[in-house]
Amino acid sequence: MGKPNFRYVARAEAVVGWRIWDRKMKKWWGERYRDFPERLLAELNGDKRPGRLSELLRQAERSRD
């Protein structure tokens, strides 16, 4: 058994913070985040509940200001 093969992964970008990479579609998902988006990644790779994703995105936007 190896590591789980998650669809969404966070990648660090110099100076700007973190971005979420969609490994299946091979493109960036969402905006840049100053802090590591741990809860957002867990939801994207888990249940993908739209209401919860919206809430997490709003929280991430507030932390950028």
What's the structural domain count of the chain?
A: 1
pLDDT in tens, 6-45: 999 999 998 889 999 999 999 999 889 988 999 999 999 9
Residue 58 lies in a domain: yes
Query: What are 55's two structure tokens?
Result: 């809430």
Domain that holds residue 46: 8-64
Residue 2 lies in a domain: no
Residue 29 lies in a domain: yes
- Can you give the pTM of this predicted structure? 0.81
Say if residue 26 is exposed, middle or buried (CB neighbours under 10 Å; 0-12, 13-18, 19+).
Answer: exposed
Residue 3 lies in a domain: no
